[in-house]
Structure 1
Amino acid sequence: MEPTKSCCAASREQHKSDAGVSQAELPETVTTGRPYPKEKLIHIKGGEFQMGTNTPDGFPSDGEGPVRTVSVDDFMISPYAVTNADFQAFVQDTGYMTDAERFGWTYVFHLLVSEETQKKASNVAQQTPWWIVVEGAYWAKPEGPDSTIEDRLNHPAVHISWNDAAAYCAWSGTRLPTEAEWEYAARGGLTGKTYPWGDLLKPDGKHMCNIWQGKFPVKNNASDGYISTAPVDAYEPNGYGLYNVSGNVWEWCQDWFSPSYHRTTSSTNPIFREETGRRSMRGGSYLCHRSYCNRYRVAARSSNTPDSSSGNCGFRVVADVN
């Protein structure tokens, strides 16, 4: 199966009418301000695992395979994606402005935008018109100026670019996971399974993650309980205690993205370090659907430019074991 255009990969490259900001205009590097409490992280014991997939459900051009034996060292990982409350504390402490704020716009899924905001929006992402360019939207106003996060403080922070996630990590004394660490932890100790819980998407008819239910991109019947993001502790955790590593929001990783990842990186603590212009993302989001973007599988990969942001993109943090 070859990938179609990804519903989840709206990039600033797709909105050519905005010149954006240069890297030189970004704020100075954020320094450690409030170390992330180690007691809130899960200690993942290192070891070997089978990384990637060779199944027909995979996207070969994404570089999901070939399957190989990979080993990682011990590390600590958050059981949850970084929440709105977490990111709010960071911003209040540092005054940090996200890429969405500096550009003045970000991408919001069309069904989540109010009629008033939609009237003011004049642009959409090229090739993926369900992504609307909304001026004034950012992490604290995720659907535009007339929205709020006050009732979603325990939901994942969204409209977070890779640059923003890296800044939060610098402040909290953490880092982003490598793709190998992310997949090792997401598998929860299972070998070769499609999802963090097994091979069936809905075992015994039970929803296990927050993905699209209905006909993409026009109707989401939200039978899993959510039309947009879910709380970070929704659904059951995997075998290692991680929540929502399938669906909900895409999660940034350290690596630069390359389809040759599995063929060129080391089998020990692999990481793709050669700059490619795009950073890796894992896990899929609430917009993923088998008919269009079947990337909520644990081996699936995607990418975006480091300055891109959208309403389904967040992150979780890891830390080294001292």
Structure 2
Amino acid sequence: MRRITSGTFRMGSDRHYPEEAPAHRVTVDSFWIDETPVTNGQFQRFVQATGHRTSAEIPPDPREYPGALPHMLYAGSLVFVPPREPVDLRIWSQWWRLLRGADWRHPYGPDSSIEGLDDHPVVHVAYADAEAFAAWAGKALPSEAEWEFAARGGLDGAEFAWGDEFAPGGRRMANTWEGDFPHRNTSRAFRRTSPVGAFPPNGYGLFDMIGNVWEWTSDWYASRHPNDAPKACCIPRNPRGGREADSRDPRSGILCKVVKGGSHLCAPNYCRRYRPAARHTQPVDTSMSHVGFRCIVREDLP
């Protein structure tokens, strides 16, 4: 883990997606954070020690999904399956499939495995799975403010975790989509997840804060940030995001948390969320092939 010293920074952005606004000052206390996302190897040790079964491995309870078609209530998870040609980018169901038998051990469907992928981020973990791992490890999931402060690596206000240029000197700094999303990936290195540490760390020595996999935070999702404090004396300290009562997805009614960092599926023509300020909503019951997490340890307050 790396120690992040307490500080004040501008969280969010006024230049990109509406949910990132307004940019506002916040202060976070010192904490420790994992250098990398939790890997398959680490998660496997947790499962071996506890017998934990992830949400993707358990058929949904019909009582929790009234009106759902019975044949759709099976153990599985959402897997990215690229279409063969350009599609309407407003219809995400054209590249996401709920695959029976997809889970953290079988990231691309029942016939796949994590053999040889011990150092890749674990995926197909719902929020409760990430919380269970954190509790077993004696850690916690970061708040959105803690995560973003760490991701910025000391570059307050910079566009990316490494500065203001996406690919300085032509060098790729994170595992993000290359080519036209979702049908044409031109990357010569990674088409899916990459080993943690395959790209340079940020200024705090943290790897994969941008790209590779989205990461769970402990904050309930709100559609925008609070306004900036009018005076320095009023800057929020260790803010905790939105309210649980307001975080339900309007279509499904499922509670949602904030995920950060973007993933290997973020692309200039579709999702420019490979930035520290970027954020997205994620239903707590939903696991996907591009969502993982990392943990923190908060220091005792004086």
TM-score, shorter chain, exceeding 0.5: yes
> For residue 231 of structure 1, what is the aligned residue in structure 2?
195
Q: How do 1:149-298 residues align onto structure 2 when only pairs under 5 Å count?
A: 149-223=114-188, 225-263=189-227, 267-272=236-241, 274-275=243-244, 276=247, 277-298=255-276
Deviation at 1:199, TM superposition (A): 1.0
Q: Deviations over 1:42-85 (max 9, x none)?
A: 11110111111111xx111x2x1211111000000001000000
Deviations 1:199-226, CA, capped at 9 Å, x for gaps: 1111000000001111111110114x10
- Is the Cα–Cα contact under 8 Å of residues 23 and 228 in structure 2 kept in the other structure? no
**Distance in 2 separating the partners of 1:135 and 1:201:** 37
Q: Which residue in the other structure is 1:300 paired with? A: 278
Gaps of 5+ in 2: 60-74, 84-90, 230-234, 248-254
CA distance in 2, matches of 1:49, 1:273: 19
Give the alignment's TM-score, normalised by structure 2. 0.84
User: Which residue, out of 43, 54, 64, partners 2:14?
Assistant: 54
> Is 1:147 aligned with 2:109?
no
* Residue identity in the other structure for 2:283: T
Q: Distance in 1 between matches of 2:190 and 2:9?
A: 32
Q: Between 246-255 and 126-135, report the one with greater CA deviation.
A: 126-135
1 CA distance for matches of 2:267 and 2:93? 15
Partners of 1:304 and 1:189 lie apart in 2 by 27
Amino acid at match of 2:156: T
Question: Normalized against structure 1, the TM-score is what?
Answer: 0.79
Q: SS of the counterpart of 2:169? A: helix
**Count of matched residue pairs:** 265
Aligned counterpart for 2:44 among listed residues 69, 88, 92: 88
Root-mean-square deviation over aligned CA pairs: 1.7
* Matched ranges for 1:96-111 at <5 A: 96-103=52-59, 104-111=75-82
Query: In the TM superposition, what is the alpha-carbon distance from 1:260 to its structure 2 partner?
Result: 3.2
Once the two structures are TM-superposed, the CA of residue 127 in structure 1 deviates from its matched residue by 4.1
Whole-angstrom CA distance in 1 between matches of 2:285 and 2:196 = 24
Distance (whole Å) between structure 1 residues aligned to residue 92 and residue 264 of structure 2: 20
Amino acid paired to 1:282? K
1:271-309 CA-partner distances (Å, limit 9, x unpaired): 025211110000000000011111111100001111101
Runs of 4+ deviating beyond 4 Å: none
Q: Distance in 1 between matches of 2:293 and 2:239?
A: 20
Unaligned runs of 5+ in 1: 1-40, 113-125
- How far the C-alpha of 1:321 sits from its partner, in A, is 1.8
What corresponds to 2:4 in structure 1? 44
Contact between 2:259 and 2:281, CA under 8 Å: does it hold in 1? yes
The aligned amino acid for 2:273 is: R
Which sits farther off after the overlay, 196-205 or 257-266? 257-266
Q: 2 CA distance for matches of 1:153 and 1:69? A: 38
Contact 2:12 2:225 in 1 (8 A): no
| Contact in 1 for aligned 2:22/2:225 (Cα 8 Å) | no
